[in-house]
Each structure stands twice: as C-alpha cells, then as structure tokens.
A = this chain, B = another copy of it.
Amino acid sequence: MTLDPIARVRRFNRAVTSEVGALDTSFLGRGRPLGSARVLNAIGHGQSDVAAIREYLGLDSGLMSRLLRGLEDDGLIETIPHPDDARRRVARLTKAGRSEFRAYEALSNAQAKDFLTRHARPEELLRAMDLVASALGRGRIVLEEADPRRDDARYCLGEYYAELSRRFANGFDVSLSRDPEAVDMIRPRGAFLVAMSDGLPIGCVGLKGGGGEIAEIKRLWVAPSARGLGLARRLMNAAEDIARELSIKALRLDTNSALPEAQQLYRNSGWNEIERFNDDPYPDTFFEKQL
C-alpha cells in the first residue's frame, strides 16, 4: 500500500494554510488591517510606483487610493507626482514608515528563524522548501539582466563551480579555466542573465561577446530545486534573443560529457556539435548555433 499522491498534496495544502497565517501574515499583530500592511510592505520592499503596487497586489484603483490615504494619514508614507508623468504617483516611506516596516521585517525574520531552529535538520528542510517554492512560484520566475559581479550573479556562479567540481571526475578549478572578463558579459559586448524566483536567484546564463559576430554561451546553471521547470531552455532563449539584438550571427559553447542533460538540451534546440575551438582543459564537447 502506498499513500495517494493527491492526498499528500492536499495534506500539504492544509498544513500550509493553517500555519502560513502565522508565518507570513505576521502583517497582523501590529494593529493594522491586512490590506494596509500589504501596501506598506510592498513600498518597503522598493515598489514605489502606485500603479505597480496596484498591479502586484491586484487591487482596485479606488481601494488602493484609500489605502494610500490611510497610510498617509498615519504618517507612514508620502506620495508625490511622478517626475516624468504627473498623472502617476510615487509613494515612499517616511521616517516613521521605515521604522514600522523594519518592525514587520523583524517579526517576519524572527518567525522564519524560529521555524528553522525548531527543526532538527534545517538544511534538509530548506532544500525541501526551495523545491516547493520553485514549483509553486514557477509562473513568477523572472529573468533579470545583471552585472556578473553583482551578489546574486556571484552566488549563481559559485554554485555553478561547486556543481562542476562535484560532477567532474577530477574536480574543477576556476583559475585553470578561462574565466570570462565581466566586461565581456555586459552590454554592448554581451550580457549576463539571472533567473529570480520570489526574490532569490535560481539560475543564470552568460553571453560572452568580443565585439565581433560570434559570441559564446557560458555559465548556464539552474538550481537543483528549480530543475524540471524548463528554466534552462528559457535562459538559453533569452540569451539568444539578446545575441540577436547585439547583431551576433552565431553562438558557440563548450561543455563536458559529465553534463549529459545540458548536451541533451543543446541538441534539442538547434545546436550542432563542432570541432574543439579552444584549449580550455575542462570541456570535451563543443557546439555551435547559427542565429
């Protein structure tokens, strides 16, 4: 006898709906209705355009207006016309608003920390939560163009290198490989994309150009928790789109047979195997794609 998978999903839903109130609706407990707290929170997290907040929270314009007015009356936010378009308004926290926002943040963080420390195997719990969050949030994954030296990007690269050293029989040492110059992965020469899921980086890809008509795909990585969602293909497509924008005519990449799922992806999306085109010690397989 095995347990019904559907019953397991529904048990998860029940567990989550009865506890997440305590986890995330910590909005409550500071004497403010959920609606106002959500708006304050959105502004605190950097959303300033009123229309963007409205879109993000799915609110009616009338309701939004009243919620903003309420927060303004409480002295937590102030709104000013948008500098480029006086129809739009921009909201930002006042001093009092920032301290109130920090109080919400502290509460949320304390609850999150408490939840982790109550568990005997927090690392395993986190991995499971990452997997579930990626599956639930798959529709909200956004690709951001980023400087490869940014924290998010460096995190992805670090995980990528760690994975290569786990999977290559003789390990992997970045310093022996040709680490692309950051400037080659920034426009106008190239680009670097980070996939963000609810604020956390879960994948990346680099487009390394040299100013000519040929560029290279580098550092394609997807977090273990986000595999199986079609993210690698999405990253590759986005990189190709940018390459076309940069008038690049052909792409190349090098890879290793210890990464069969990557090769599978390349072969399934229009890439052809070619001769070795560099003397990097790690790759053993080389691909090209005409744009």
Residues of A that sit less than 8 Å from B by CB: 1-3, 5-20, 23-25, 108-109, 112-113, 115-116, 118-122, 124-138, 140, 151, 154-155, 158, 197-201, 227-229
CB atoms of A14 and B7 under 8 A apart? no
CB atoms of B14 and A121 under 8 A apart? no
Known: A129-B9, A130-B8. A228 touches B1 (CB 8 A): no
CB atoms of A1 and B132 under 8 A apart? no
Residues in B whose Cβ lies below 8 Å from that of A132:
12, 15-16, 125, 128-129, 132
Within the oligomer, what is the number of copies of this chain? 2
Shortest C-beta distance, A63 to chain B (Å), equals: 18
**Bound Cα distance from A170 to B115, whole angstroms:** 39
A5, A13, A108: which has the most chain B beta carbons within 10 Å?
Answer: A13
Shortest C-beta distance, A40 to chain B (Å), equals: 16
CB atoms of A7 and B199 under 8 A apart? yes
**Bound Cα distance from A151 to B201, whole angstroms:** 43
Residues in B whose Cβ lies below 8 Å from that of A9:
23, 112-113, 115-116, 126, 129
- Closest CB pairs A-B (n = 5): A120-B228, A128-B128, A9-B112, A15-B133, A13-B24
